[in-house]
Amino acid sequence: MGERAACPRGAGAYDEVAAIGERIHSPELRDGRLYTISRRELRAALVNAAWSAGGDIRTNAAVAGG
């Protein structure tokens, strides 16, 4: 396997998620960063981050193996 490039913010989708998600304010949170977001919005943010990073996204692919 090849080396993975360093990615300081995970997949790079955090800023988009934080901009559209609903922030949860709770004193129990250590760093205060918790957002709720729909699965559709999260998937879109991850896809956008992958495209921005040059990812090749393929859907509806057949599953091989078993």
pLDDT, tens only, 2-59 = 444 444 455 678 888 888 888 888 877 777 778 888 888 888 888 888 888 888 877 7
Threshold 0.75, pTM exceeds = no
**Cβ 31 vs Cβ 64: under 8 Å:** no
Q: How far is residue 55's CA from residue 20's CA, in Å, rounded to a whole number?
A: 23
Give the pLDDT confidence score for residue 34 in this predicted structure. Answer: 82
Asked if the model's pLDDT at residue 66 lies above 60, the reply is no
Q: What local confidence, expressed as pLDDT, does residue 35 receive?
A: 82
Looking at residue 62, its pLDDT comes to: 73
